[in-house]
């Protein structure tokens, strides 16, 4: 009789301890799953880090004051499947000095060709977000710096943009 009572008490203790371990594991799994779900679906994208990285990359350029040079307005068909969309883009470029401004005028044909090819390779989806527009400005600056010499173009400003 006494042996049966001891066996029942040990069974209850083991069952009670096992129940708490299972509850603890389930709670931890729910917490990890909840955190994962929140970060993937509900948390805002980390745009602050992206804008800080871009600001750090352009920090030396922000100290410089340049001269604004307007470029002609570009009107191109976008690279959409049906070819029914077009982009009208007005751009002003901030150059470092008068030499860069003169080089921009000298290589005007190269500049137009490069920018027309760049813009016509874009699609509506590739230009519809704010991030895509900022990337477009950076791509234009990079292409112009390849033509004029590295560091000649400080910033690119989009003055007019119509996508239809």
Pairwise CA distance, residues 117 & 76, whole Å: 9
**Predicted confidence (pLDDT) per residue in 59-109, tens digit:** 454 556 788 999 999 999 998 887 788 999 999 999 998 999 999 999 999
Pairwise CA distance, residues 41 & 33, whole Å: 12
Identify the pLDDT of residue 27. Answer: 94
Identify the pLDDT of residue 80. Answer: 82
Q: Of 42 and 35, which is predicted with more confidence?
A: 35
pTM: 0.61
- Identify the CA nearest to 89 among candidates 137, 138, 159, 154: 159
User: Strand locations in the chain, DSSP E?
Assistant: 67-70, 74-77, 86-95, 153-163
């Amino acid at each position: 009789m006494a042996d049966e009572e001891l066996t029942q008490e040990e069974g209850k203790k083991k069952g009670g301890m096992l129940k708490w371990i299972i509850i603890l594991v389930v709670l931890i799994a729910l917490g990890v799953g909840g955190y994962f779900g929140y970060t993937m679906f509900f948390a805002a994208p980390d745009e602050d880090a992206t804008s800080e990285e871009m600001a750090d990359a352009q920090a030396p350029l922000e100290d410089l004051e340049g001269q604004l040079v307007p470029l002609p307005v570009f009107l191109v068909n976008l690279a959409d499947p049906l070819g029914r969309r077009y982009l009208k883009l007005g751009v002003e470029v901030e150059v470092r000095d008068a030499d860069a401004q003169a080089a921009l005028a000298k290589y005007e044909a190269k500049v137009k060709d490069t920018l027309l090819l760049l813009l016509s390779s874009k699609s509506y989806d590739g230009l519809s977000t704010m991030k895509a527009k900022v990337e477009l400005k950076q791509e234009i600056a990079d292409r112009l710096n390849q033509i004029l010499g590295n560091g000649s173009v400080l910033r690119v400003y989009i003055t007019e943009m119509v996508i239809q």
